Structure 1
Amino acid sequence: MEIGFFTLPEKIWNENKGKFEDNKLYSWDELEEFRKKNNFDYIEFMIEHMYYHNTLNQKPKSCKICHLSLLDTPLLHKENFEFVCNFHKMQILKYKKWFKIFDIHLPYRWLFVSKKVYLERIENFAKFLEKLAEEKKVKILLENELHSYEEFLVLTENYKNLGITFDLGHAYMSYVTKRCKIHPFKFFNKVFDKVENIHLMDSHRNWKIHHEHLSLGKGSLPIKKFLRILDHKGYDKMLTLEMLRIGDIKESKKYIQLC
């Protein structure tokens, strides 16, 4: 299994103070030195973390996957659908000279959109991405958000150029908020054959809107049990630690090694 980490965000939400606070940032050279010293395999470059975007004049050596900008939209009507498709195409065309793997946050179903309409649009979106990936010779990984298993199922079959990034925190959000009726581990088992990247962090189970990106073992998610599942299934692909501070990334790597 390859273990990597996210580029760090400029701001971190302070729940107690109810506001964002500055995060300590590191240059690309410092991140690369940290990666080597702590035996990480790769870095996942997140476009939305603008510090690294703005200081980027060439691809960092160890960035293996590009996490595209988040775009939450209901895919409700034709113009909206075309905008979403063009938005992702534009980003992939810009960065494909450096990256061959792209992570996309799949737009989830807003409550006022019927399941039937959403499933039609999301299947058309998958067909668009499959064609785009084939034409541009890239791999696209679709990341679960507030999805039911049924909504995600349409993306797990018949698309050779589309894989899945399984985000454990998002899976629990879907489960806690009753968007998904099956347990996250069962969800994972059902889509396992398409999973090529895992976003792992800890959190508490009583969230409704967002999940914290805590060090492994600092929240209440069953991280050890999930790691045992990965070991049992022989998972040997990417696992990205999605913490917000560099110390938490280092601590979480040690946590995995001790499990």
Structure 2
Amino acid sequence: MARPRLILLTLCAALSTVGIGLSLASMWGGIFLAQQWDIGPARIALILLPTEHPPPSTELLQHFSEIPGASHVRSLSSAEVNTLLTQWNAPWPNPVPPIIALNYTGTPSRLEQSVKETLPTATLIAPPQQHSSIPSFTAIIYPASLLSALIGTLTSSAVLIISIALSAQSARLIQSADLTLLAQLGCPLHRAYWATTLRFGISCCIGSILGLLILLPMLYILMALLSPLMHQAPPQVSLLFDVSHPSRLHFLYLLPLFYAVLGWMVSEFFYYTSLRAPLP
């Protein structure tokens, strides 16, 4: 009877590991995706200067930064300009025009008026209107990601703790006759409990390792499926597979050790409290 109980505990630990990993990865991935959309092309305006115009001066950049709703005003380098223009017309003939990029949160008509007042010869490429709802959408992603991660983590943790408690309860019921005999003989019961609680900890550790073996391919597949929505992979997810760089998700590699300690402590606490209760 002990083997099915330990197998079930191992499966619950694996399920809990997968649940916690997916919850945290979805939280950091959602926040990263929202940040990219929030500052991405949907809010970036481009100001094309005439080809014969000299590189933008600091004074000119300061004028554009004073436009209401404008931020992060910067002059694109020649390499950035070539990369940008080749997406519209490849190859772009030299010389390439100077381009100023800025983040803008106001209306395009107001931005165009401000640009014409500052530099009449400039050409404005405003953010597309169809993405105007993105800021309100990304504002929902932040709390939704945190809430989903909290619910997923708490649920996965509860599954593991409940499975440990139920396994300990069933083990105690099965061993009640033996424990009664040991108590009558004067043998300390905690010595008999030690082997059982140790097996619980080992089962949780093995289950967590199996969960990681399932979780890592799942994260890799999800990252590949979501890559078209992102300019680059979320650092926490992409660096999960590179142990040479620190990542928030790297602590998942410590879950087997944590689960082993948790399985031992929960079962040990359960048995410790059951010492004060009469055996059935």
Q: Do they fold alike, i.e. is TM over 0.5?
A: no
TM-score (norm: length of structure 2): 0.18
Larger relative contact order, structure 1 or 2 (CA cutoff 8 Å, min sep 6)? 2
The structure that is helix-richer by fraction is 2
The structure that is strand-richer by fraction is 1
TM-score (norm: length of structure 1): 0.19
Larger Rg: 2
